[in-house]
Amino acid sequence: MAAGDQLEIVAHLLLAAALGALMGLERELRGMPAGVRTIALVTMGAALFTEISGLIGGGEDRIAAGIVTGIGFLGAGVIFREGYTVKGITTAATIWSAAAVGMAVGRELYLVAVLGALIVFALLESRPLVRAADNLLRQRARLLIDLDHDESSEQGDRGRGEDGR
């Protein structure tokens, strides 16, 4: 294989690693177990496997299935149960998505890869917005319950005389 073709593959790997680093940044900033390095390596590795499968020919679908299976095991490793809660699901989903972005780079679907990585990043960054909306809804629900409770108390008090009977 010519050096120019190999440098093109290296450029693909750098793009995949950069997109993975972007996706891993949110996980890293939140102190999650898989951050910039892990997600960048997953994305780059998936791109490399996809590139190589195109070069050796005949087994692209098997390589893709192998990537998905391997990433499933890697993702399962970051999920754990703590009491009644399960932790690591979002990190596992990020790893899975990172592999898909890497595969898109490996198949030279650059627009899909870049937009996919941006969508993953936006979804990961939406957490504070979702929490704020959840808190607002909970406050409004408490307010409605309190108002309803106050109205029923007032109706009960109206039926009684001043002595409470």
DSSP structure class, residue 87: E
Tell whether the model's pLDDT for residue 162 goes beyond 60: no
For the chain, percent of residues with pLDDT exceeding 70 = 87
Summarised one tens digit per residue, pLDDT across range 79-121 is 887 888 888 888 899 999 999 999 999 999 999 999 999 999 9
92-123 per-residue burial string, b: 16 or more CB within 10 A, e: under 16 = bebbbbbbbbbbbbbbeeeeebbebbeebbeb
pTM of the model as a whole = 0.75
What does pLDDT average to over the chain? 85
* Higher local confidence (pLDDT), 36 or 65: 36
Q: Phi/psi of residue 53, each to 5°?
A: -65, -35
Q: How many CB atoms lie within 10 A of CB 15?
A: 20
SS3 (DSSP) at 82: strand
* Higher local confidence (pLDDT), 10 or 133: 10
Burial (0-12, 13-18, 19+ Cβ within 10 Å), 1:
exposed
User: What per-residue confidence (pLDDT) applies to 108?
Assistant: 93
Interhelix angle 3-29/36-56, nearest 10 degrees: 150
Tell whether the model's pLDDT for residue 150 goes beyond 90: no
Summarised one tens digit per residue, pLDDT across range 57-83 is 767 788 888 888 888 888 888 888 788
